[in-house]
Chains A and B, each alone.
Chain A
């Protein structure tokens, strides 16, 4: 039974269709990366999951319950860190943490103190005096000190420094070691690569890729740069080869992994002098989706957006 199961979720705000048939599946015990450009619908999806927004169409199950109808019961079993943390300006950070914990149904005081220390957060400061990063730490400590089954984190580290990012990653691992599930919306690719078992990439309100990072890499094209003894011709006719262009007397092209073998067989006939092959970096993988569909497979959402 998946922790989160969304099928064909649709949500419109007036004339704007924010979610347009989104699918998402998060299994128990995994850290699931939830990626997509700004405005693609990540926060809207999360708000539907939290029972804050009402869906227009589609099926949404959270911990095998209905997130709208069973909101209160579900909220005892999850903790949420919003992307833009706002707090009561005249409460101290410590008070805000305790308050969120109590409203959620209790929090582990030892964990709370330990987390305060690990994140180097002064709980006696008034919330109005905190920087963005420190407000995020308040929300993170309040969430992580709660013993729940699911943690929903919406860009939780966008204001943290690299040291705190490392602490954050360790603490997330600790949560999953304890059997919890994490939905992590993030733009920090290193964080996603370090933490996530599987990722879903959304664009314009639709899921365009979902799977492990290794699986996703297989879907993307490998860049090959080759120098040959005789001028290389006719290579663009080969199946799965794209974007052929000369670079400093060499030829650079992109090829789908399943056609790499045929390409190599063809190149040999021209006398290969040098050859490099690079699998797609994570960044290229994401940029391909973030940036439109100039390379290779056209994501469904992008096509619609044109």
Chain B
């Protein structure tokens, strides 16, 4: 029996377990790529519009930081600039989570022990995970390349662009293989790998911002070369492809695999190289109530959201000032922004559209925060808590308050940081921060309705609450983003609470819809509380 015995079987097992998750991603990536490419060619149909795009993209700090270095004014180059970072970060995270799921998570749950006792070699589990995830990246890359080519883009550039995305997935497969050896928990391994993705993004952004403009191209500075996310840009798909750069992720895969094997051979099954952290032997007084517990369980996620919201809001605020230059000559883009934001002033429309996007995104925060109630119920934690002197009412109200107050804080941060970013460039930072902070608060009634929907589902249809909550939010999201574009009838658009919040600062605030939305939210919350009061736990 060699150290690799059983790899094939384990790989098949991993494929079987992941057939849905990886399947959606492998097939979804080319679909997403084609969809994004299609909308780009609608926006920038001719050479002059693309040259203007490339000029802005090469100059704008925000565009460089978020979209990477532009490589030219070909349609393919614009498509890559608009799609690469989304697809690459997706590939990085999907690969990371998949590797950890099939390595450290198996050890954490004890499945690895069960498998290790069978005829399975020491390295088989890790090798199987790497085979499956690298294979999925290759498959997804080939499909993406063919999909780009099918839209009429040049074949070489299409393959290079897809290779760049797959390369990022492969690079982070290697990173996750190492972090899975370091941390004893899959959560820790995921967090380490995701943090690496974040650092890679920042390095790339820094290198691309500091880079030099050469005509319609940006030559990135050295930090971009340290980042696997930056390597994809350096392939320069559709701009004189540099194929050799694709060797970098492959080299990282080889090195990472070798390191992971070395680490794996030096530790016991289930153990890690980073010691598990210990906690206090006694609880601090602040923890000892439902509210204290809620804060303790949610503060990490809340902080993460806050950091993301502030960075994004600030960047969007800075970008708002560039909106006039960037699209003043592009009727299609201006029309899209006006449709999203409303009103006549393009900057105000852009700011309003950004606040609308924040409100939609924070809907996801509300849903995931409130759905922890259902997770607690499924885990049996809720049963243990309700067997103490905490009433159902008090417990659920605490959860609702936590989610709603979290949304209030995040929405305020989003508005204020957007205002600050815009104000720093356009002047009157404080005034804009206050104005947009106020405008952001006016979006909250829509979030209250989202909280009401989740609570009502949890109280009245607990078994369906997880799937239906996310489905409802997706419908709101689609109505908000596509409704105006697809010319859906107003009656359909009215189903989403986001349709009714006034698009401040682009239009004047209106009181009645806010009062009505708050009322609907309150009714849904009350229905959820009443349903929960009268139902079985667990059910």
A-B contact pairs, 26 of them (CB 8 A): A47-B536, A50-B387, A53-B536, A78-B387, A80-B384, A82-B383, A84-B380, A85-B380, A88-B297, A91-B296, A94-B279, A94-B281, A95-B280, A98-B288, A102-B283, A102-B289, A103-B288, A103-B290, A103-B389, A104-B388, A105-B388, A123-B282, A124-B279, A124-B280, A125-B278, A126-B277
Residues of A within 8 A of B384 (CB): 80, 82, 85-86, 100, 139
Most buried by A among B289, B388, B536, B538: B388
Contact in complex: B388, A94 (CB < 8 Å): no
Q: Given the complex of chains A and B, what is the CA–CA distance between A78 and B386 in angstroms?
A: 12
Q: A99 at interface (Cβ–Cβ under 8 A)?
A: yes
Bound CA span A89–B282, Å: 16
Which of A54, A75, A78, A99 contacts B283, CB < 8 Å? A99
B388's partner among A73, A85, A90, A103 (CB-CB below 8 A) is: A103
- CA–CA, A50 and B279, complex, Å: 31
Q: Is A76 an interface residue (CB 8 A)?
A: yes
Interface residues of B in 395-433 (CB under 8 A from A): none
- A103–B382 CA distance with the chains assembled, in angstroms: 12
Residues of A within 8 A of B538 (CB): 52
Q: B residues bordering A, Cβ < 8 Å?
A: 184-185, 187, 276-283, 287-290, 293, 296-297, 379-381, 383-392, 534-538
- Report the separation of the CA atoms of residues A126 and B187 in the bound assembly, to the nearest whole angstrom: 13
Check A53/B537 contact, CB under 8 A, given A71-B391, A72-B390, A80-B387. yes
Q: Counting CB contacts under 8 A, is A134 at the interface?
A: no
The interface residues of chain A lying within 8 Å CB-to-CB of B282 are: 94-95, 98, 123
Considering the chains assembled together, what is the distance between the CA atoms of A99 and B293 in angstroms?
8
> In the assembly, what is the distance between CA of A288 and CA of B493, in Å?
65
Q: In the complex, which residue of chain B has the Cβ closest to the Cβ of A53?
A: B536
Against B, the Cβ 8 Å flags (1 = close, 0 = not) of A282-305 are 000000000000000000000000
B278 contacts across to A, CB distance below 8 A: 92, 124-126
Residue pair B283, A98 in contact (C-beta under 8 Å):
yes
Query: Which of B293, B389, B534, B536 makes the CB contact (< 8 A) with A76?
Result: B389
**Bound Cα distance A89, B185 (Å):** 10
Asked if A129 is at the interface of the complex by the 8 Å CB criterion, the answer is: yes
- Nearest CB in chain A: distance from B516 CB, A: 35
In the complex, whether A164 has a CB less than 8 A from a CB of chain B is no
Q: Which of A52, A87, A99 lies in contact with B386, CB distance below 8 A?
A: A52
Bound complex: CA A50 to CA B537 (Å)? 10
Is the contact region of chain B dominated by helix, strand, or loop, or is it mixed?
loop
Check: A128 CB closer than 8 A to any chain B CB: yes
Q: A87-B381, A95-B282, A95-B283 are in contact. List 17 more A-B contacts (CB 8 A).
A: A47-B536, A47-B537, A51-B386, A52-B536, A54-B535, A72-B390, A86-B379, A94-B280, A94-B283, A95-B287, A98-B288, A100-B384, A100-B388, A124-B280, A126-B276, A128-B185, A129-B276
- Expressed in whole angstroms, the minimum distance between the Cβ of B391 and any Cβ of chain A is 5
Asked if residues A75 and B536 are in contact (CB atoms below 8 Å), the reply is no
**Chain B residue nearest in CB terms to A52:** B537
| Binary CB contact string for chain A from 47 to 86 against chain B (1 if under 8 A, 0 otherwise) | 1001111100000000000000001110110101010111
With the chains together, A100 CA to B288 CA distance in Å?
8
Partner of B279, one of A80, A82, A126: A126
Residues on B with C-beta less than 8 A from A139 are 384
Q: How far, in whole Å, are A123 and B278 apart by their CA atoms in the complex?
A: 9
CA of A91 to CA of B283, assembled, Å: 9
**Interface residues, chain A, with chain B CB atoms under 8 Å away:** 47, 50-54, 71-73, 75-76, 78, 80, 82, 84-95, 97-100, 102-105, 123-126, 128-129, 139, 152
> Within the assembled complex, what's the spacing in Å between the Cα atoms of A75 and B388?
5
Q: Are A52's CB and B387's CB within 8 A?
A: yes
Alpha-carbon distance A72/B276, docked complex (angstroms):
37
Q: Is the CB of A72 within 8 A of B389?
A: yes
Determine whether the beta carbon of B389 is less than 8 Å from that of A105.
yes
* Chain B residue at minimum C-beta to C-beta distance from A109: B282
A81 vs chain B, min Cβ distance (A): 9
Interface pair B279/A92, CB less than 8 Å apart: yes
Instruction: Find chain A residues with CB under 8 A from B290 CB.
Output: 103
Most buried by B among A99, A128, A139, A152: A99
Inter-chain contacts of A152 with B (CB < 8 A): 387
Residues from chain B with Cβ under 8 Å of A99 in the complex:
283, 287-288, 293
Distance A80 CA – B384 CA, assembled complex (angstroms)? 8
A198 to B258, CA, bound (A): 63
Q: Are B387 and A75 in contact (CB under 8 A)?
A: yes
Q: Which residues of B contact A76 (CB under 8 A)?
A: 389
A248 to B38, CA, bound (A): 88
A278 to B: closest C-beta gap in Å: 41
**Complex-state Cα separation, A139 to B279, whole angstroms:** 17
Chain B residues with Cβ below 8 Å from A54 are 534-536
Inter-chain CA distance A51–B185, complex, in Å, is 35
| Most chain B beta-carbon neighbours within 10 Å: one of A47, A91, A103 | A103
Are B383's CB and A104's CB within 8 A? no
Q: Tell me how far the C-beta of B439 lies from the nearest C-beta in chain A, rounded to whole angstroms.
A: 36
Cβ B387 vs Cβ A91 within 8 A: no
Cα-based distance from A84 to B383 in the complex (angstroms): 11
Q: How far is the CB of B33 from chain A (nearest CB, A)?
A: 37
Residues on A with C-beta less than 8 A from B287 are 91, 95, 98-99
| Residues B389 and A47 in contact, CB atoms below 8 Å apart | no
Are A102 and B296 closer than 8 Å at their CB atoms? Answer: no
The closest CB in chain B to the CB of A48 belongs to: B536
Once the chains bind, are B280 and A82 in contact (CB under 8 Å)?
no
Contacts of A53 in B (CB 8 A): 536-537
Q: A91 — nearest CB in chain B belongs to which residue?
A: B279
CB distance from A91 to the nearest CB of B (A): 7
